[in-house]
Structures are given as structure tokens and as C-alpha cells.
Amino acid sequence: MARMNRRRFLALTAAGALAGSRALQARTTLRLAAVGQALILRDLATQYRPGFDQMRERLSRADVAFTNLETAIRGVSARDAAPSGGGVHADPVVLDSLRQLSFRLLSLSNNHAGDLGEAGLLSTIEETTRRGFTVAGTGRTLAEAVKPGVLTLTKGTIALVAMASSAIPPDRMATETRSGVNHVAQRNGVVDAADSARVLAAIRAAAAQADWVVVYQHDHYWAPDWQQTPDWKKAWCRACIDAGATMFVSHGVPILHGIEIYKRRPIFYGLGNFVFHVSIELKGAVPALYTGAPCFQSVVADCEFDGGALTSLWLDPITLKSDTGVGEGGYTLHGNPHLAEGQEAREILERLARLSKDVGTDIEIVGSRARVRL
């Protein structure tokens, strides 16, 4: 009897570690759309139609949509802030167009979070929360930056834990007494022990109170071949799932990486770009991938969960290419998303299928869409 009780205890413990949250008990269907990062500098709603209407209709099919806001917001409290770092910043109006696209969950943790200094970092939190976004990844202290954001829907609650790795100036990393980004370091293929403990504890806490937990990482520890996901990253993502994450989403490398299904939960090793408002001179000053198609191609990942388990994952290819094409010497890439069609759509999906096969995922292309075989 003692042996039976011990076996039952171990089985329940293992099941609890896998479930991580109340989601498996809830048995509620949730549809969540995840996309690439949003380096947004212009108001899509007024600048970009009919493409905007097309993306709004597509994303509105989900219960909630998620992205990373890779732009410091110049709100009232940052009106006089001087740009620093990459100088990526925008007026609050860009948030209104994201809201119209059904985004409710936003990560704020990335290498451009501090591009308007502390005032801009805090202004971004203020302006996003004022508009009803649930945000995570930055804060007035490290405790705030790692704290899960919680979104309450009629179906249940979604928690968001967000972090960033590398390319963050030391004075923009949050500490116990300083505002900044929830930074996670990795050295020689191992995630820093203190950073790991802090983030995994936050995931466990989120899983204890929420029905679904989204974990996000903006990662600039890139492999020499940008298309390759390092082994340390794979191990780290799986550890976050083991701690209770329902899904893991990553950006940083500005191109698609593979998708892994781990314990019936998706890991998006890299979703590339959803909005990429940059201007580039084509004179070899930047890596070729920044000027090539992969930086301006991605997917909308349409995930459906029954409780905490993934039951459906469809992929819609999108392109951000300029409507005006490539000019001589240099040109502006508009970086606005719209659904890809024809040969371009197939090329995007075939590339993603190849990358995902390397982590054991089978993707079937069906017309201009694709689905993950679970």
C-alpha cells in the first residue's frame, strides 16, 4: 500500500509539473494569435489600408493577440526625453492601431525599451496600460519587471512573463532599486543561475493563478548562422514549459526560426517581424539578411488550446515588403504586414517547415496556409 501511495504521489506530482497551471482543469478552449515583433513608428490605421483592414480581420478571429512592442513610446512624461541607443521611438498613436488589430498582450522587454531613457521606459508602461494592454518585461524595479501581467477574459485568465537577453545597456537592466528591463544573461551556453531562478519562479507563480501562461524572450544571443537556434535556447525554452508555461514565444533574430511542440505546448523559437519600420541604404553596411526577403516575411500563428494543451496550430504567411519595390542605391522598406500570396506564401511556409523539421515538428502546407500536425 505504501508503494502504491508513493507511485500515486509521484504520478500526481509529474502531472502537476506538466500542467503547471489551472488550465488543464479548466478545459476551456482559447484561441491565441502570436506574431513577430512590432518595431512600429507610424500609425498603421491611417497610413496603411487596405492592408490594415485585412490584418485586423485576420487577427480578430482570435480571443487575443500577442506581440512584442519594440518601440519606446514618447508619452506626456517623456515629451522632452532625448533619444539614445538605436533611437527607436514613436508617438502613442501607434498603440491605437495595435489595439485596433486585436492586440491585448504586449511584451515591453527588448533592446529598444530604453531608447528614450528612463522617462521613455516608464512612459511606455503608462501609455500601454492606459489603453488597456496587459504588459510585462519592464518596470520601476526588477521585481516589477519580472512580475507577470495578467489579462482577464470571460474564458479565464492569461498571464504574461517577459524577458530580454543581450544588447541591453547595463544601465537599462532593472535592479532592486533601478527601473529597466527584466534581463536574462547566458554565458558559455548556460543561463545565469540567478536569472533562471527568478524567471522560473515567476512562471510557477503565474501558472498557479492563471489558466494560460505566455512566456516571452527577446533574445540577441544569436548563432553565427542566424537561422540556427542555439542548443542553450532550446533547453531554456523547454525548462520554461516545464515550469508551467503554456507557450513560449521568442523574437530578436529578425527572421523566422523553427516551431517545436514540447509536451503538447508550442515553442516559437523565432517569429521574426510583424511590423518593421526601418530605412536601409543598400551599400553593404548591414548584414545581407536585413535587406533580403527573410526579414520581411513571417507568419501569424493561430493557436488553439483546450485547457493547457495545444489542439490546433495554423500558420498564415505574411509579407512586409515595400509596395514600391527595390530602388537603385537605397530605398525605404515600409515594413507593413499583409497576407502573402502565391509563390511567396509557399516559400515562407516551406522555409518554416524545413526549420521546424529540425526540432521534430511536421508542418503540412494546405493551399496558402499551413498546419502543424499534432
pLDDT in tens, the chain (374 residues): 444 344 443 333 334 444 444 444 445 899 999 999 999 998 888 877 778 899 999 999 999 999 999 999 999 989 889 898 778 999 999 999 999 999 999 999 999 999 999 999 999 999 999 999 999 999 999 999 999 999 999 999 999 999 999 999 999 999 999 999 999 999 999 999 999 999 999 999 999 999 999 999 999 999 998 889 999 999 999 999 999 999 999 999 999 999 999 999 999 999 999 999 876 543 344 455 555 678 889 999 999 999 899 999 999 999 988 655 444 334 454 788 999 999 999 999 999 999 999 999 999 999 999 999 99
Name which of 331, 275, 241 is nearest 69 in CA terms.
275
d(CA 146, CA 150): 12
**Is residue 98 one of the residues assigned to a domain?**
yes
What is the per-residue burial (b if ≥16 Cβ within 10 Å, else e) of 181-208? Answer: bbbbbbeeeebeeebbebbbebbbbbbe
* Chain centroid offset of residue 198 CA: 20
Q: Is residue 55 part of a domain?
A: yes
Do 363 and 346 form a contact (C-beta atoms < 8 A)? no
Say if 212 falls within a structural domain.
Answer: yes
Q: Report how far residue 45's alpha carbon sits from residue 99's, in angstroms, rounded to the nearest whole number.
A: 10
**Would you say how long the chain is, in residues?**
374
CA distances to 79, 148, 210, 242, 253 from 207, rounded to whole Å, are: 38, 10, 5, 11, 28
- Whether residue 298 lies inside any domain: the answer is yes
The answer to the question of residue 13 being in a domain is: no
Tell me the three cell numbers of residue 181: 528591463
**Which residue segment(s) compose the domain that 344 sits in?**
28-373
Inter-residue contact 120 to 84 (CB < 8 Å):
no
Q: What is the structure's pLDDT at 45?
A: 87
21 falls within a domain = no
pLDDT on residue 138: 98
Residue 219 to residue 164: CA distance in whole angstroms: 6
- Report how far Cα 201 is from the mean position of its chain's Cα atoms: 20
| CATH, residue 313 | 3.60.21.10
Q: Is 1 contained in some domain?
A: no
CB distance 216 to 137 below 8 Å: yes
268, 248 in Cβ contact below 8 A? yes
Cis amide prior to 50 (ω within 30 degrees): yes
The number of C-alpha atoms within 13 Å of 189 and in the hemisphere containing its C-beta is 7
pLDDT of residue 140: 98
Q: What's the confidence (pLDDT) of residue 250?
A: 98
Cα–Cα distance list, 373 to 242, 260, 303, 350 (Å):
22, 11, 13, 15
Q: What is the C-alpha separation between 167 and 113, in angstroms, rounded? A: 11
DSSP characters for 322-359?
Answer: -TT---SSEEEE----EE--HHHHHHHHHHHHHHHHTT
Burial class (CB in 10 A: 0-12, 13-18, 19+), 84: middle
Q: How far apart are CA 374 and CA 362, in angstroms?
A: 8
Number of domains, the chain: 1
Q: What is the pLDDT at residue 105?
A: 98
Cell (9 digits) for 367:
493551399
Evaluate whether residue 19 is within a structural domain. Answer: no
Owner of C-alpha cell 527572421: 255
